[in-house]
């Protein structure tokens, strides 16, 4: 789907100062907000932003001060997995 946003030319020029890609910034802002509100999963966010790896998504989220929820149960599951591997 393509989405068009109308921005006055002078403001678009101001926002694009430094050569940033306004289309990409708008996509990232929309995707990040929907993720924060729980309307996108991590996998959906990754796909929407075109990231091929979880590592790329983690970097993006950290750059925007968004931390993935990590519960005590997640920790226990990882410890159990490491125990099975003898680590």
Give CA–CA dist 63/67, Å, rounded.
Answer: 10
Report yes or no: 24 and 48 within 8 Å, Cβ to Cβ.
Answer: no
Q: What confidence tens digit (pLDDT) does each residue in 45-78 have?
A: 999 999 999 899 999 999 999 987 778 888 899 9
Question: How many other C-beta atoms lie within 10 A of the C-beta of residue 34?
Answer: 14
Report yes or no: 62 and 83 within 8 Å, Cβ to Cβ.
Answer: no
State the pLDDT at residue 65: 94
**Global pTM value:** 0.74
State the pLDDT at residue 22: 92
- Statement: residue 29 has pLDDT above 90: yes
36: pLDDT confidence band, cut at 50, 70 and 90?
A: very high
């Amino acid at each position: 789907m393509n989405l068009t946003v109308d921005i006055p030319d002078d403001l678009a020029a101001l926002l694009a100062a430094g050569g940033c890609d306004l289309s990409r910034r708008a996509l990232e802002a929309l995707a990040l907000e929907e993720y924060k509100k729980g309307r996108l999963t991590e996998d959906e966010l990754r796909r929407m932003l075109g990231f091929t790896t979880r590592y790329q998504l983690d970097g993006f989220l950290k750059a925007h001060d968004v931390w993935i929820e990590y519960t005590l149960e997640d920790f226990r599951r990882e410890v159990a997995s490491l125990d099975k591997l003898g680590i």
